[in-house]
């Protein structure tokens, strides 16, 4: 079946630095990928929709200059958390779709801790 690889699985960084998270579709082409954020004991909150070759579409309240999304190819989308702060510490998950009826495949998630 479809596989989405997400790296790194865990990252600890210092306040003020930037962190890049990669999401790759391994055996299919993903025109659209989605980035979610999840706080402890909460559900997945959609941050943005990443489209290959065009600008990402951000959900209301998500700072596009802070969470930079690049979808340079049909198999790779990246999320860069710029100038990270402790409040950015969270679980970030990417997802790729081959069409709504085909389902959504999730990456394994990235646990970001900003110290």
Interaction between residue 106 and another protein (CB under 8 A): yes
Site for another protein in 80-99 (CB under 8 A): 91, 93, 95, 97, 99
Supply the minimum distance, in Å, between the C-beta of residue 16 and another protein: 26
Residues β-bridged to residue 113: 12
3-class DSSP assignment, residue 3? coil
Say how far apart CA 82 and CA 74 lie, in whole Å.
24
Interaction between residue 57 and another protein (CB under 8 A): yes
- What's the half-sphere exposure (Cβ side, CA atoms, 13 Å) at 44? 12
Q: Between residues 32 and 82, which has the closer beta carbon with respect to another protein?
A: 32
CA pseudo-torsion sign 82, 86, 88, 92: positive
Supply the minimum distance, in Å, between the C-beta of residue 100 and another protein: 4
Size of the site for another protein (CB under 8 A): 26
* CA angle in degrees (0–180, nearest 5) for 97-102-104: 40
Interaction between residue 77 and another protein (CB under 8 A): no
Q: Between residues 8 and 16, which has the closer beta carbon with respect to another protein?
A: 8
Say how far apart CA 102 and CA 89 lie, in whole Å.
32
The contact set with another protein (CB under 8 A) reads 32, 34, 36, 41-46, 49, 51, 57, 91, 93, 95, 97, 99-101, 103-104, 106-109, 111
């Amino acid at each position: 079946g479809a596989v989405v690889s997400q790296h790194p699985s865990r990252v600890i960084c210092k306040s003020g630095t930037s962190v890049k998270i990669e999401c790759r579709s391994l055996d299919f082409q993903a025109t659209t990928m989605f980035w979610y954020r999840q706080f402890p004991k909460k559900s997945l909150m959609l941050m943005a929709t990443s489209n290959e070759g065009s600008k990402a579409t951000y959900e209301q309240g998500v700072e596009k200059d802070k969470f930079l999304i690049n979808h340079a190819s049909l198999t790779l989308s990246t999320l860069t958390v710029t100038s990270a702060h402790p409040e950015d510490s969270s679980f970030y998950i990417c997802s790729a779709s081959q069409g709504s009826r085909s389902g959504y495949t999730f990456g394994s998630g990235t646990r970001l801790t900003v110290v």
